[in-house]
Amino acid sequence: MKIRLLLSYKGTHFFGWQKQSRQRTVQGEIEKILFQLFKRKISLVGSGRTDAGAHALGQTAHFELEEGLKNIDLKKALNSLLPFDISVLDCWKAPLEFHARFSAKKKSYRYFIFTGDSPPALFRDLVWWKKGDLDLEKLNKMSQELIGTKDFKSFQSAGSDVKNTVRTIYESRWIKMSNSLYCYKITGSGFLKQMVRNLVGTYIGLLKEKRANQKLKQILKALDRRKALSLVPSQGLYLKKVFYSSSLDKICYKI
């Protein structure tokens, strides 16, 4: 049987999602617990990687279980065994065709910027601290330029072997959450390596420029990472949700 998991984690003390031999990673920690629970090696497949330090409000993953669940309350068992910075929000029995990565249709990310003039002592790991108010209108004009199907090669960091850099962006907007907290919301068919962090860094960098919109368009058109501005830190980044087709969601059963 196939098990689908909805996960939340705080990325601060992980070297990202993907398993590495000597580092603490989300995939590695969960696989350790699955081994403990089922007494054999189980591979966990995520919807995609997340960067070291980046968080998840709703990452999706799956694994296969030959023998079935027996009488285990899986969510409860996992949450009682997992470390404090990983949480299982939901478990489903999924059809065999479900694949956390290949079945994913869309993803949503959030990026949080705290703009107060004193450091956010309580939330240092959970936001990017950048002093000074942001021009929300200007940010939203730029972020609107992304909507649609475009080649985002300029916003892909080096070290990726992805060849097709065309993606569709459905939602791209900034909101002011409170006096000194801003949030960027982006939803797309998929994302390139460090794309959200590269995008946010470019928006913020262009804020001080005239004709920022035009410049953003030029950067997009250049299809060249060296044209984009430097990326923002990972601690402000959250994988919010991974979307699957509703027909597939319908044949996943909560357990």
Catalytic residues: 51
Q: Which of 169, 162, 204 is nearest to 187 (CA)?
A: 169
27 sits in which H/E element: helix 26-38
Which of 10, 93, 107, 241 binds a copy of itself (CB under 8 A)? It is 10
Give min distance, CB of 49 to a copy of itself, in A. 18
Q: Is 254 in the site for a copy of itself (CB under 8 A)?
A: no
Instruction: Check if the beta carbon of residue 89 is closer than 8 Å to that of residue 241.
Output: no
Cα–Cα distances (Å) from 113 to 24, 42, 238, in that order, read: 26, 37, 12
Backbone angles phi, psi at 87, to 5 degrees: -135, 135
Q: Are 236 and 174 in contact (CB under 8 A)?
A: no
# residues contacting a copy of itself (CB under 8 A):
21
- Which of 13, 15, 87, 255 lies at the binding interface for a copy of itself (CB under 8 A)? 87
Distances in Å between the alpha carbon of 34 and those of 8, 43, 74, 92, 154?
17, 9, 10, 16, 39
Q: How far is the CB of 255 from a copy of itself (least distance, A)?
A: 14
- Please report whether residue 119 would count as binding a copy of itself according to CB under 8 A: yes
The residue (of 34 and 229) whose beta carbon lies closer to a copy of itself is 34
Q: Is 148 in the site for a copy of itself (CB under 8 A)?
A: no
Instruction: Please identify, among the stretches 112-120, 182-190, 213-221, 222-230, the one whose residues bind a copy of itself according to the rule CB under 8 A.
Output: 112-120
Q: Does 151 bind a copy of itself (CB under 8 A)?
A: no
Q: Report which of 134, 112, 132 is spatially closest to residue 124, judged by C-alpha positions.
A: 112
Instruction: Name which of 55 and 150 has its Cβ closer to a copy of itself.
Output: 55
Contacting a copy of itself within 41-70 (CB under 8 A):
55, 57
Pairing of strands 55-64, 253-254: unpaired
Which residues contact a copy of itself by CB under 8 A?
8-10, 55, 57, 75, 79, 84-90, 118-122, 124, 126
